[in-house]
Amino acid sequence: MSNELRITLPARLSELRDLAGMVEDFGDANKLPAPKVFAINLELDELITNTVTYGTFEPGTDPRIDIHLKVECDILTLTMEDNGSPFDPTVDTNPNTSGPLESRSVGGLGLHLVKNFASRISYEFVGGKNRLTLEHDLKPA
């Protein structure tokens, strides 16, 4: 297996399991540390769930998600694109992570996790697609 993996999926939660298996194989082939493989699968779960649950797609479009994983120069990059309406998940959602139980909601927590597991995150809307790029440093700074 090469240092790149490209997958296009229909925007459905049922795709997550097979995808997780492919990411694990990719991790093994590239000798990625287990926590990084976990981080990628967590990010994919949270981001695909968001797209499937909250994403809006123009009538007539076939909701699709393109995933690209790459290892280069000690950086593991996950790029995810979807053909939904523009949505920037990097804007601050500020979930409550410190109040008592009663005030906690799980909304926004998924993106909060994504932002913490990635070293850097950027968003752009290009060619009619949302593109989210998540970089993970493989060597400690």
Partner 1 sequence: MKIEVAEEWHDDVLVLLPIGRIDSNNAGAFESIVMRHINGGERYLIVDFSRLDFISSAGLRVAVLAMRALKATQGRIVLCAMRTHIEEVFRISGFDRIITIRKSRDSALDAVTGPSPAQP
Residue ranges in contact with partner 1 by CB under 8 A:
13-14, 16-17, 20, 34-35, 38-39, 41-42, 45-46, 48-49, 96-98, 100-102, 104, 106, 109-110, 112-113, 116-117
Toward partner 1, which CB reaches closer, 17 or 31?
17
Q: Which is nearer to partner 1, 107 or 128 (CB)?
A: 107
Residue 114: exposure state from Cβ atoms within 10 A (0-12, 13-18, ≥19): buried
Which residue lies nearer to partner 1 by CB, 59 or 94? 94
CA 6, CA 65: separation in Å to the nearest integer? 11
Give the Å distances, CA to CA, from 73 to 89, 109, 127: 26, 30, 27
User: Minimal distance in Å, beta carbon 140 to partner 1?
Assistant: 16
What is the closest distance, in whole angstroms, from the C-beta atom of residue 126 to partner 1 in the complex?
Answer: 27
How far is it, in rounded angstroms, from Cα 24 to Cα 129? 27
Sign of the CA dihedral with 65 first, then 36, 109, and 122 last: negative
Q: State the nearest-atom distance from the C-beta of 131 to partner 1, in Å.
A: 22
Return d(Cα 137, Cα 139) in angstroms, integer: 6
CB of residue 128 to partner 1, shortest distance in Å: 26
Strand partners, 66: 8, 81
Residue with smaller CB distance to partner 1, 17 or 60: 17
